[in-house]
A = this chain, B = another copy of it.
Amino acid sequence: MITKIVVDADYSDGLRGIDDYSHLIILYWLDKVDRVRLTMRPQGKKDVPEVGIFACRCPWRPNPIGMTTVKALERKGNILTVKGLDVLDGTPLLDIKPYTPPYDAVEEMRCPDWVNNLEY
**Residues on A close to B: CB < 8 A?**
7, 11, 13-18, 20-23, 25, 27, 38-39, 49-57, 61-63, 65, 67-69, 94-106, 108-112, 115, 118, 120
Contacts and interface: CB of A to CB of B under 8 A. Distances in A.
A102 B114 CA distance: 12
Nearest to A113: B20
| This protein's copies in its complex | 2
A16 B95 contact: no
A68 to B, nearest CB: 7
A18 B52 CA distance: 7
B52 A13 contact: yes
A38 B11 contact: yes
Contacts of A62: 11, 14, 95
